[in-house]
Amino acid sequence: MCNVSDDQSVQVSLGQRSYQIVIASQQLDQIAEAMNSWLVRRGYPRQGRAAVIITDRNVLESHAAIVSLSLRSAGWRCHTVGMDPGEQTKTLAAASHIYDVLVDLKADRQTVIVAVGGGVMGDLAGFVASTYNRGLPFVQVPTSLLAQVDSSVGGKVGINHPKGKNLIGAFHQPIGVYLDTSVLKTLPDREYRGGLAEVVKYGVILDPVFFEYLEQHVADLNAREGNALRHIVARSCRLKADIVEKDEFELTGVRAVLNYGHTFAHAFEALCGYGELSHGEAVSIGMLYASRLAERLGRIDAELTARQKRLLEALHIPTTLPASSRLNPDEVIDRMRLDKKAVGGQLRFVLPTRLGHVETVTDAPESEVRAVLEELSSAP
Ligand SMILES: NC(=O)c1ccc[n+]([C@@H]2O[C@H](COP(=O)([O-])OP(=O)(O)OC[C@H]3O[C@@H](n4cnc5c(N)ncnc54)[C@H](O)[C@@H]3O)[C@@H](O)[C@H]2O)c1
Ligand SMILES: [Zn+2]
């Protein structure tokens, strides 16, 4: 178990690009202090601090307004750009709109871009920060659970191309992440549960003790209890940061463990129609398919799959495909071959060998994959 200080801050060590993730609760109004200290440490001048907040309209008047007030009270010039919420805003057109605003504001290399919102705002604002004027300092204030435990850690930023999600992007580490778990109170239930699926994933792939913690704190997690939230967010950030520190640019394959459940999930999301199944829901279902595949390949026993299913169900995260989806196994397999993580059309799965440990498997027989798809899709 972590002690309290581990739940207040996570250090991401990447040489000159190292940064701190502050984990606060009901302290969004103190963000200016943290941002000032990050800038001082990097040698930015103390005068003329300026920030542009990129946010979506669901959190603009609540959480983004508090960030803006905190910065203004500390003497910053601060401008807020409100975007439409949702994945459809992760486009070049939206980035271009923000570039126009930055030009009008005469933003310079000292202007800090602050993303306030879920993963969409983080990816979009981060992409703008990585490209405008060859790179601006970037701060993330993630407000969805998925953004707090996943997208705000690791430096991947980007936008979608009409032909592919996240096709245009960069690695651009923030100078800091300021994360306040109390903002999760306003997060819609479905978004919250989707984020929890990624939290469960960290337990399965990296940390059996954390998995047990989740099992023991189901009631607290369902109630969004403050201490439990802080712990799961801090532990998830630490676990992802450990991986990112070993493979910052996704070159060595270490980062691939984070894709547990995702080979199935990406195919399910695409074939069910984006929106029908959220990403987190698809990951929950995808983990169980992957786990069942691991069972069939003799890597784990049935109890490990059952244990994941019990936890996901207790957290009210879907564990089976919608009855209406009726996916054809051949279509799913074709889709998995198209996945950008598949190399040369070869199916690639991240499969558990025990709780807390996974391996990349590239030689799973297609007949076994098909059997899992047929068996689980026809289960009552
Ligand atoms: N960069 C990465 O490493 C990485 C990793 C995983 C996912 N992603 C990206 O993240 C995106 C998904 O992120 P997401 O699930 O946060 O989606 P999102 O940004 O669309 O947020 C989900 C919804 O919740 C709303 N919301 C967010 N915080 C809220 C709050 N506190 N109160 C009320 N409403 C709130 C948003 O307005 C939105 O409607 C995808 O585009 C995905 O590609 C990136
Ligand atoms: Zn995911």
| Closest protein CA for atom 18 of ligand 1 | 118
Do 270 and 182 share a domain, yes or no? no
Which ligand has the nearest atom to the CA of 165? 1
Question: Tell me, what CATH number does 139's domain have?
Answer: 3.40.50.1970
CB 143 near ligand 1, within 6 Å: yes
Do 20 and 168 share a domain, yes or no? yes
| Closest protein CA for atom 10 of ligand 1 | 119
Do 141 and 211 share a domain, yes or no? no
Query: Considering Cα of 196, then 197, then 199, then 203, what sign does the dihedral take?
Result: positive
CB 191 near ligand 1, within 6 Å: yes
State the pairing for strand pair 77-83/138-142: unpaired
Domain end position, chosen among 186, 220, 244:
186
371 CA distance to ligand 1 middle (Å): 34
Do 131 and 195 share a domain, yes or no? no
Rounded Cα gap, residues 134 and 332, in angstroms: 40
| Closest protein CA for atom 13 of ligand 1 | 119
Do 56 and 142 share a domain, yes or no? yes
Do 97 and 218 share a domain, yes or no? no
Domain holding 119, by residue range, is: 4-186
Q: Nearest-CA neighbor of 84 among 74, 94, 72, 92?
A: 94
Confidence (pLDDT) at 46: 83
CB 278 near ligand 1, within 6 Å: no
Q: Tell me which of 26, 149, 150, 151 to substitute to probe ligand 1's pocket, judged by most ligand atoms within 8 Å of the beta carbon.
A: 151
Confidence (pLDDT) at 1: 46
Confidence (pLDDT) at 2: 46
CB 174 near ligand 1, within 6 Å: no
Q: Would you say 279 and 189 are in contact if contact means Cβ atoms under 8 Å apart? A: no
pTM of the model: 0.96
**Count of CB atoms within 10 A of residue 347's CB?**
18
350 CA distance to ligand 2 middle (Å): 13
* Digitized pLDDT (tens) for each residue of the chain, 380 residues in all: 445 566 799 999 999 999 999 999 999 999 999 999 999 999 998 888 999 999 999 999 999 999 999 999 999 999 999 999 999 999 999 999 999 999 999 999 999 999 999 999 999 999 999 999 999 999 999 999 999 999 999 999 999 999 888 999 999 999 999 999 999 999 999 999 999 999 999 999 999 999 999 999 999 999 999 999 999 999 999 999 999 999 999 999 899 999 999 999 999 998 987 678 999 999 999 999 999 999 999 999 999 999 999 999 999 999 999 887 778 999 999 999 887 666 777 899 999 999 999 999 999 999 999 999 998 777 65
Q: Measured at the alpha carbon of residue 287, what is the angle toward residues 305 and 205, in degrees to the nearest 5?
A: 85
3-state class of 77 per DSSP?
A: strand
Domain end position, chosen among 167, 186, 205:
186
| Closest protein CA for atom 35 of ligand 1 | 187
Do 343 and 363 share a domain, yes or no? yes
First to last CA, the chain: 38
CB 308 near ligand 1, within 6 Å: no
Do 45 and 180 share a domain, yes or no? yes
Q: Which atom of ligand 1 is nearest to the CA of 126?
A: 1
Confidence (pLDDT) at 5: 61
| Closest protein CA for atom 33 of ligand 1 | 187
Q: Tell me which of 146, 160, 201, 229 to substitute to probe ligand 1's pocket, judged by most ligand atoms within 8 Å of the beta carbon.
A: 146
Domain end position, chosen among 186, 202, 221:
186
CB 155 near ligand 1, within 6 Å: no
CB 186 near ligand 1, within 6 Å: yes
280 CA distance to ligand 2 middle (Å): 6
13 CA distance to ligand 2 middle (Å): 23
**Number of domains into which the chain is organized:** 2
Q: Nearest-CA neighbor of 157 among 218, 95, 212, 199?
A: 95
Rounded Cα gap, residues 190 and 308, in angstroms: 19
Q: Nearest-CA neighbor of 179 among 21, 329, 339, 362?
A: 21
Do 351 and 237 share a domain, yes or no? yes
Do 163 and 202 share a domain, yes or no? no
Do 92 and 215 share a domain, yes or no? no
State the pairing for strand pair 164-171/156-161: antiparallel
Do 309 and 229 share a domain, yes or no? yes
Question: Tell me, what CATH number does 301's domain have?
Answer: 1.20.1090.10
Q: Would you say 335 and 345 are in contact if contact means Cβ atoms under 8 Å apart? A: no
Q: Tell me which of 63, 123, 178, 278 to substitute to probe ligand 1's pocket, judged by most ligand atoms within 8 Å of the beta carbon.
A: 123
